[in-house]
């Protein structure tokens, strides 16, 4: 899992078609972050897909592909959908901000920029992303751990059922044979149903083994209610009295 407090510098991708703006933002951010720059929307998409940054500062008004289209394509790709995007724009129209936020931008920074405001916003959104990444990784770890423990429980259950069947077979051959037949019938049925489109996604080899074992245990428990023939070692001679 990723530690929310990392010793590596976060990566910030700055996208602007004006070289002066790229130089200004790079100089402002480079002491605290790894700064990558792109002078067009197309290049920004290539850089983001090649190695996703932690944050993107994106100019809205660019020739060719504008910031809205860049954001739309970032949101459409699974590998870049989770990158927070902050728009840099000289346009202060409410409708423009609304459009960007609806597309998935997390914030707006007005041009000309205020360095303290830029640094505060960048730190805030990077901290939020680090926390979100940590929680997502932790959730994935817990999910895999639950799956692993579940497999262990199923394996223990299967071993227990097999032991019950073997014990029943030792004490009473009729019961043992009945349990074995039940297991083979269920497995044969599951193998036959695996070719049916309705069950193909559910009946892999592990699922078939598990489903074969469940009736085995049910049969064993059912037969336990009967009075098995005594084991030869347990048989006693009749009382002569």
Which CATH number goes with the domain that contains 78?
Answer: 3.40.50.2300
- Over the stretch 75-87, which tens digit does the pLDDT of each residue have? 999 999 999 999 9
Kindly state the percentage of the chain with pLDDT values over 70.
Answer: 74
More confident of the two residues 90 and 219: 90
Give every CB contact of residue 5 below 8 A, 6+ residues apart in sequence: 130
Q: Within a domain: residue 122? A: no
Return the closest-CA partner of residue 33 out of 121, 117, 107, 123.
123
Q: Is 83 exposed, middle or buried (0-12, 13-18, 19+ CB in 10 A)?
A: buried
More confident of the two residues 72 and 232: 72
Q: 27 and 106: one domain?
A: yes
Angstrom distance (rounded) from CA 71 to CA 177: 66
The half-sphere exposure of 69 on its side-chain side, counting CA atoms within 13 A, is 10
Q: Within a domain: residue 133? A: no
Instruction: Write down the pLDDT at residue 170.
Output: 60
**String of DSSP letters for 211-225:** HHHHHHHHHHHHHHT
Instruction: Write down the pLDDT at residue 218.
Output: 53
User: Across-strand partners of 110?
Assistant: 89
Q: Within a domain: residue 125? A: no
Considering 17-21, 132-136, 149-153, 180-184, the range whose residues carry the highest mean pLDDT is 17-21
Q: 106 and 172: one domain?
A: no
Q: 81 and 160: one domain?
A: no
- Total of domains in the chain: 2
Instruction: Write down the pLDDT at residue 237.
Output: 57
Instruction: Write down the pLDDT at residue 4.
Output: 46
| Mean pLDDT rounded to a whole number for the chain | 80
Q: 95 and 33: one domain?
A: yes
Distances (CA, A) of 14 to 44, 74, 111, 122, 124: 8, 14, 14, 12, 17
pLDDT-derived band at 1 (thresholds 50, 70, 90) equals: very low
pLDDT-derived band at 97 (thresholds 50, 70, 90) equals: confident
80: domain range?
11-113
pLDDT-derived band at 137 (thresholds 50, 70, 90) equals: confident
Dig out the tokens for 51 from the structure: 């190695």
Q: 152 and 206: one domain?
A: yes
Cβ atoms 99, 60 nearer than 8 A: no
- Over the stretch 148-179, which tens digit does the pLDDT of each residue have? 888 878 777 777 766 766 666 566 566 556 66
Laid out side by side, the sheet with 107-110 consists of 34-38, 11-15, 55-59, 85-89, 107-110
């Amino acid at each position: 899992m990723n530690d929310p407090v990392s010793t590596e510098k976060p990566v910030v991708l700055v996208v602007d078609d004006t070289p002066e703006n790229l130089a200004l933002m790079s100089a402002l951010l480079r002491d605290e972050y790894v700064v990558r720059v792109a002078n067009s929307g197309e290049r920004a998409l290539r850089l983001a897909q090649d190695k996703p940054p932690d944050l993107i500062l994106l100019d809205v008004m660019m020739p060719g592909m504008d910031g809205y289209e860049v954001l739309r394509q970032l949101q459409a790709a699974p590998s870049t959908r989770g990158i927070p995007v902050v728009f840099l724009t000289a346009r202060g129209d409410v409708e423009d901000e609304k459009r960007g936020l609806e597309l998935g931008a997390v914030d707006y920074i007005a041009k000309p920029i205020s360095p303290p405001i830029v640094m505060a916003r960048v730190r805030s959104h990077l901290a939020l992303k680090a926390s979100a990444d940590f929680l997502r990784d932790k959730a994935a770890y817990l999910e895999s751990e639950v799956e692993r423990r579940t497999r262990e429980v199923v394996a223990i259950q299967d071993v227990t059922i097999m032991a019950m069947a073997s014990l029943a077979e030792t004490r009473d051959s009729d019961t043992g044979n009945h349990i074995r037949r039940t297991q083979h019938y269920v497995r044969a049925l599951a193998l036959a149903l695996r070719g049916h489109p309705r069950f193909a996604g559910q009946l892999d080899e592990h699922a078939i083994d598990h489903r074969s074992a469940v009736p085995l245990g049910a049969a064993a428990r059912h037969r336990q209610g009967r009075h098995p023939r005594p084991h030869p070692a347990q048989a006693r001679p009749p009382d002569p009295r």
